Structure 1
């Protein structure tokens, strides 16, 4: 039986990943900041092979608790899915520093730190790590400076980490989704740290979380290194590199609402 640790598992993509993994017989260690929501999800799946640990994933003690709980309850870890995330929708110059720091802490520092803490277990199983990045880490998006920076840092760090842990037989899949219909956008922060008041701008097709979960687990089963599930966004990232001035003009028109 495979043991899977999923962060941000109480809703959205994390919950769909949990449901899919549970349906195929995996044991689950689920984590989320929303303690009540997490408890409801664990109850829904049943506690026979599911354990929930609530807490702020950016806190080192919580990361250590997850690793300790995984070893104590299951004795192994086969797959770590770094899914928990947060975003903001606000012009850079109108975004408080604490908002930018929070986004970086959740989207970059926490997944890297949890992955490093989990390596002893993953070495034993010759397991696998999944990190949920974003196409926003490959190209600029108006109103998302902190998010773009965090996802760019995540991608660079994990691309380096991949080569370093490959010697231990550990695989690493970086996922680069585009716009998803999940609570991360509905709960986006504004520049003052409160929920963003304006509707989000998008480009391309907005995908469902269940569809995305299937793509991710299929990529993991194939031991892929990178997954670009939305071809339109992948092409847009190439446009940014090949014709940046044209890309900026198109983005400025499409995302004008992000500037307030």
Structure 2
């Protein structure tokens, strides 16, 4: 069984949710951690919790390549190199293509796609040197689209294919690449959507079978640690998500439309109304962090 002890992992989106819990789980296995997030306060608290000899916290925006390079350089200077990358940072926007705030739509694409590129670009030389492993966090959304979540769907499909292409580029250098695909996880992203939007809760309730169920962050973190340990090509959370990887052509066909279309005329207008009332197309937490990114202290 491969051991993770004394390996070094870079984790983006590390301040909360999946990033934070995966970091804790990795630390318990003896991994050293380079923690990156734009939200400096909880990031610093996590690093303090894990210990200075275990974790380095660097507040940085994944959309800023020089900042990411500086963060990577700091981590390599402290721990000697990078064995694993968990490209986890991501946000979502809500509302139809006609209603969603264009700036928020762009911010989702920037964080979820360019942020992955910047993370990988900055860390790749060290990962190649150590013949390491990169896990790009995509989503079930890469296989199954949802009205009102277009930016998120597009970005997660994009990073899945980014991982597929990257795998071809670095395999001969001894580097393995995987993509993670989760259904709804009980993260701040999903919690905020549930709190903000009655339409989002109706959307989940309308989904068939297990598609509307939410999985714990702990279960997701355990699956990610298993994926990192085994350098897996795909990580599915829960495991049934893997079925949709194989059924993608069916889900996006007219057959899939028959399942996904019926609630849209009822739920999408409600979501658009709620977005207008909120005055934002993303969570209040993301709006606050966007202000930090635009005007860094």
User: Would you say same fold, with TM above 0.5?
Assistant: yes
2:255 aligned residue: 246
2:287 aligned residue: none
1:257 aligned residue: 267
1:153 aligns with 2:153: no
Q: Deviations over 1:69-99 (max 9, x none)?
A: 1121111101010011101121111012211
RMSD: 2.0
Structure 1 unaligned regions, length at least 5: 189-194
Q: Deviations over 1:236-260 (max 9, x none)?
A: 5655522622322322345642442
Count of residues in Structure 1 that have an aligned counterpart in Structure 2: 255
1:198 aligns with 2:198: yes
Closer, same or farther: CA 229–97 of 1 in aligned 2, 3 Å: same
Q: 1:41 Cα deviation (Å)? A: 1.0
2:216 aligned residue: 208
Distance of 2:243 and 2:229 partners within structure 1: 25
* More deviation, 231-240/126-135: 231-240
Q: Deviations over 1:164-190 (max 9, x none)?
A: 1111101111111111110122345xx
Distance of 1:19 and 1:212 partners within structure 2: 12
Distance of 1:108 and 1:97 partners within structure 2: 16
1:174 aligns with 2:182: no
2:277 aligned residue: none
Q: Which of 40, 47, 71 is residue 42 of structure 1 equivalent to? A: 47
> With structure 1 as the length reference, what TM-score do the two structures score?
0.91
Distance of 1:183 and 1:27 partners within structure 2: 25
Closer, same or farther: CA 145–54 of 1 in aligned 2, 3 Å: same
1:139 aligns with 2:153: no
> With structure 2 as the length reference, what TM-score do the two structures score?
0.80
* More deviation, 13-22/60-69: 60-69
